[in-house]
Amino acid sequence: MNRFINFIREARAELKKVEWPVKSEVINSTVVVLVSLLVVSLILGGMDLFLTLVIRLFVGT
């Protein structure tokens, strides 16, 4: 039980050292991730569509 309590104390001490982001940084980072996700999804979807059409031309279905 002592080890667990010691672990909790050390964890709390480390969490106090963390520099937490402000709300605007979190929002900006989230927007960057969502926009990146959208762009990559569109690129991969476009490549899939293009390659599907090319393969259908060669296979003839």
Task: Classify 19 in phi/psi space as left (phi over 0), alpha (psi -120 to 50) or beta.
Answer: beta
Structure tokens at 58: 């060669």
User: What is the value of pTM for the model shown?
Assistant: 0.66
How many CA atoms lie less than 13 Å away from 27 in the CB half-sphere? 3
Span 30-39, average pLDDT: 98
Residue 1: predicted pLDDT: 85
pLDDT digits (tens, 9 = 90+) for 10-33: 999 999 999 999 999 999 999 999
CA gap 59, 46 in Å, rounded: 20
CA distance 56 to 19: 54
DSSP state of 20: P
Q: Residue 12: what pLDDT?
A: 96
